[in-house]
Amino acid sequence: MSARKTAIVVAPGRGTYGKGELGSIARFHGARFADLVADFDAQRRDRGQPTVTELDGADRFSVATHMRGDVAAPLIYTATALDYLSIDREKYDIVAALGNSMGWYSALALGGAVSVEDGFRISNAMGLNSQTHGPGGQILLQVVDEDWRPVPGLREKLLDLAAAIDARPDHALALSIDLAGMLVLAGNEEGLAALLAEAPPTPGRDPLRLAGHGPFHTALMFGSSDKARAELPVALFGRPDIPMVDGRGHIWRRFSSDPAEIWDYTFGHQILAPYDFALSVQVAVKEYAPDAIILPGPGDTLGGAIAQSLIGIGWQGMTSKADFMARQASDPILFSMGRADQRALVTGQR
Amino acid sequence: MDAAQAVHEKFLGALASGRLPSRADAPDPAAAGLSRGRATDIFLSQLTSRQMDRLSRHLQARGEGFYTIGSSGHEGNAAVAAALRVTDMAFLHYRSNAFQLHRSRQLPGGTPTWDMLLSFAASSEDPISGGRHKVIGSKSLAIPPQTSTIASHLPKAVGAAFSIGIARRLGMTGLPLPDDAVVLTSFGDASANHSTAQGAFNTAGWAAFQGSPMPLIFLCEDNGIGISTRTPTGWIEAQFRHRAGLHYIKCDGTDLVSAYAGAAEAADYARRTRKPVFLHMGTVRLYGHAGSDVQGAYLPKALIEADEARDPLLAGAALMTEHGWMSAGEIAEAYQEIGATLARQAEAAIQRPKIITPAHVMQSLIPPKREVARVNTPSDEDRKAMFGSDAGQMDKPMHMARLLSWALADLMLAHKEIAVMGEDVGPKGGVYNVTAKLHQRFGSARVVNTLLDEQAILGLAIGMAHNGFIPMPEIQFLAYVHNAEDQIRGEAATLSFFSDGQYSNPMVIRIAGLGYQKGFGGHFHNDNSLAVFRDIPGVILAVPSNGRDATQMLRECVRLAREEQRVIVFVEPIALYMTRDLHKEGDGLWTSVYEAPGEGAPIRLGDVGVHGDGTDLAIVTYGNGYYLSRQAEKLLADDGIKARVIDLRWLGPVDEAKLVAAVGDAKRILIVDECRITGSQSEALMATFVERTPDKKLARIAADDSFIPLGKAATLTLPSRDSIIAAAKELLA
């Protein structure tokens, strides 16, 4: 038996490259992956966009600039892909890839269904493209208590309310992303306003409107879907090298996955219907039983959702935040590469 | 070497050497409609199923797994799954792992290997049986759970297929089966010989022969052997190629393209013509019947080797390599990778919780209650229109058979999902006229005249219940249910248990039975044993003694079926159907005026009937025994003995608290049981009273352990009014 451990990788979505991450791409990867960064920069330059190097190397973090889709997406992708390439493969055997929301585009590259360069092409295009929608956005609501256990009935109440609001004339509201401990609901302005007015009390912080986000993963994104199909051809896609778990919990297997079907899902269902991130994590751990879960890319905010997804199925006996924290302290299962100590364990570099 | 290991090594050896079988005679995937992606995906499911079989044996050896009947050699059924829709209900036999794994590919979000491993490990988190049994089954994949098969699942598959056409005719929507669904049922060549299977083939053919829709695929996975007994070469084909009403299609399950082509043709035929198909799929059985079986003990080595050469994975590998879809090296790598993944999963799965309390085991014996649509109470006008000239009779006292027939009509009017089926239940009105006029009132879609086969009648009911109906099958005579007993005992009653309450087949089985028919009919029409129903967990047994009770109890049974998803056996005493008088001719005391729905005091499950409040004696009885005890009670009163008579009404389960309360302050208890003493209710009642009322004097009379003869001898072995009086007096002496 080799000492090599198995791991799944989970690519983060929007909102993960923040002030603390500024400069991290150059710091972590500038030397080792200069060629790739140069390729990404060239792609941006060709489209008349500021380069990754420029954005990552800015003097200060600007919400107005860095949080915009056409900037955030390529930064997050770059950090994610290069982190992935930095994982010590002598130590970790990656057995499946998945992502959250735009993290799916990263997962395509991590899984080998597209090249690292084309992964950037797709993420960059979708960062801009995802701004193709009518008025609307996303609201984040917490549905677990401080010990990360579900508040009884709250999830159902919110989903029922969303369905009721959606049924009203001129209102649109639907589940956008299921993050286990949090739900992201998306809709048009009327729908979001009604939700904020009528939502039952939720634990933790108040419902949060996500700045700069569109009504992702809803039918309101049809323009984005059409545009993506028109500008990102099937030819970019191939068969994955490792299994990928998508936002429906479907497993795209090695060898058998049809590139045209991956393309169709990526620019169809994935854009227009809810992204069940919690389910994708649960499917991945059940079907691949990895020793570790690695979260590459900027920040560590997705770690909570991953942990809550595990708690949701009592994975390896973890049924609360306390269980998870104890496990992390004794025999960590989740490694966030945005945290220096955990990054070192995964990359073998200090 | 272990046989499974030998097959495993042969496969890897063939990949390493490149010596794969020729597919020269096998069909072309493109011509069969199989793309590279689909064919490869089927092949990966087959590799997974195979590795799972190997793993199950390793787990058993470690004491962590509990099931080793494998699917090895039968992986062609993955291709059948690919040719069907996920909504095509599938009643599968136990070598169907590859089918279930591959069907799951159609429904994103599933975790089929994890789920199956939980089932191997008997974890309470096993999503189909909750750790109660290794079954092939899944609620989301429309695979009702099935375990060791004796072909007992075939009749209900026929019933489910039949229900699709009925639902369409009735315009019912929102049922579990879409109206263009087909039903699949699979079995081996050995179980094709089972009388239950033969009955199902016959029923499907009989129905199709006369044009009834029957969109059904019988998938015979023919591996040429049943445990150690070989099927004569050519037997299955010879039997089924020209069978009336069945369309025969043959394919080779050891080649996934042939299997897919055959299955696709079968699915298309069944869906398009709504006629049954017999899909004969050749398979091999690799490494014996189950983990403990050493086939070298009874099969010649050459035959075992010939079977191993037909390993479907070898043909699959040949397909992959000849098209360049996977190299031999990639296949070996994928196969090993799947094995390694499963091994990791298994280590996690065996850590999951197990069932540790009897209460947990029994939790799903009875299905959960469910929300049902509110009863659409028919208006007086609707009822008058339905009853026609009968309406004018309703203020007159009637006997039980008439009251039951009116109660049935009212129930069918109120609940559109009720269907009645049985031999002669149509225009003839059933054997004792209880279904009289139902056919005329509700049509042949809801009142189904069946062929003469009790397994088919009960199978039809079970299958229709799977599709949202509330069936009320009629069995003509109690003695006739015995040839079909397993449909209740092994199938209907176990469904909730094996599916953790997710599947149910609610129904009310009406059976005419018991003795006292004035010497007519002999044993087969006077059978007086209910033991067959009394020990089945979860089944309710009701025996009314009079028309008013029968009406209210039948309504309660339908409520129990609709709202609580229960399986109920409702035994109607034949001798009391037309009985009008109790003490003397013309007293009319055994008749009553029909209580319309909502009228009269309802009788709930467990409610006992009590006549009188005498404290000298409580006579505890049911059915004909209650009728005779009522006669005896009057004569005992004339002699100054004050008795009360308690009608159990519900024999399974008996509500002991209510029974003891009904006995109350009566000093003595006499149990009167018309059934054969061995296995009769009287045995349980004696135990109940010994345990719960030890201070009371107790005695019983029951029928002798005999069959019922003809003529005047018919009642010699049964309790009578006079023997009840004698027993009561003895108890008081």
DSSP A12: -
- What letter represents residue A197's amino acid? A
Averaged confidence pLDDT in chain A: 95
Mutate to test the interface with B, among A269, A286, A293 (most CBs of B within 10 A): A286
User: Does residue A211 register a pLDDT over 60?
Assistant: yes
Cα B704 to chain centroid distance, Å, stands at 32
H-state helical runs in B565-622? 574-577
Average pLDDT value for residue range A35-59: 97
pLDDT for A2 equals 53
Q: Is A288 on the interface with B (CB under 8 A)?
A: yes
Contact: A287, B348; criterion CB under 8 Å: no
Contact: A286, B111; criterion CB under 8 Å: yes
User: Over the Cα atoms of chain B, what is R_g?
Assistant: 29
Q: Nearest-CA neighbor of B461 among B525, B506, B424?
A: B506
The tens digit of pLDDT for each residue in A124-155 reads 999 999 888 888 999 999 999 999 999 999 99
Q: Write down the ipTM of this complex.
A: 0.95
- Write out the two tokens for A209: 């409107």
User: Which stretches of chain B score pLDDT less than 50?
Assistant: none
The strand pairing partners of B210, in sequence order, are none
Contact: A289, B326; criterion CB under 8 Å: no
pLDDT for A306 equals 98
Query: What whole-number percentage of chain B has pLDDT above 70?
Result: 100
Chain A partners of B326 at a C-beta cutoff of 8 Å?
A: 255
Count of CB contacts below 8 A, A vs B? 57
Query: What whole-number percentage of chain A has pLDDT above 90?
Result: 91
For the full predicted model, state whether its pTM sits above 0.90.
Answer: yes
The tens digit of pLDDT for each residue in A245-261 reads 999 999 999 999 999 99
Q: Is A279 on the interface with B (CB under 8 A)?
A: yes
Q: Nearest-CA neighbor of B200 among B423, B454, B447, B420?
A: B454
Rounded CA separation B502/B487 (Å): 19
Chain A partners of B109 at a C-beta cutoff of 8 Å?
A: 248-250, 276, 279, 283
H-state helical runs in chain A? 24-29, 34-46, 52-56, 63-66, 69-86, 103-110, 116-129, 154-166, 189-198, 222-231, 259-267, 269-272, 277-288, 302-312, 321-330, 340-347
Stretch (H or E) spanning B137: strand B136-138
Contact: A258, B44; criterion CB under 8 Å: no
Contact: B347, A289; criterion CB under 8 Å: yes
Chain A partners of B330 at a C-beta cutoff of 8 Å?
A: 255
Q: Is B324 on the interface with A (CB under 8 A)?
A: no
Interface of B with A in 19-38 (CB under 8 A): 35-38
pLDDT for A1 equals 43
Contact: B345, A279; criterion CB under 8 Å: no
Q: Nearest-CA neighbor of B616 among B634, B646, B640?
A: B640
The strand pairing partners of B187, in sequence order, are B220
pLDDT for A157 equals 97
Of all residues in chain B, the one with the smallest CA distance to A276 is B109
Contact between residue B246 and residue B204 where contact means Cβ atoms under 8 Å apart: yes
The tens digit of pLDDT for each residue in B83-111 reads 999 999 999 998 999 999 999 999 999 99
Q: Is B41 on the interface with A (CB under 8 A)?
A: yes
pLDDT for A350 equals 54
The tens digit of pLDDT for each residue in B488-547 reads 999 999 999 999 999 999 999 999 999 999 878 889 999 999 999 999 999 999 999 999
Closest approach of B80 to chain A, Cα-based (Å): 18
Of all residues in chain A, the one with the smallest CA distance to B125 is A313
Interface of A with B in 222-261 (CB under 8 A): 246, 248-250, 253-258, 261
Buried b / exposed e across B443-468, counting CB within 10 Å, b at 16+?
eeebbbbbeebbbbbbbbbbbbbbbe
Backbone angles phi, psi at B32, to 5 degrees: -85, -5
Q: Is A206 on the interface with B (CB under 8 A)?
A: no
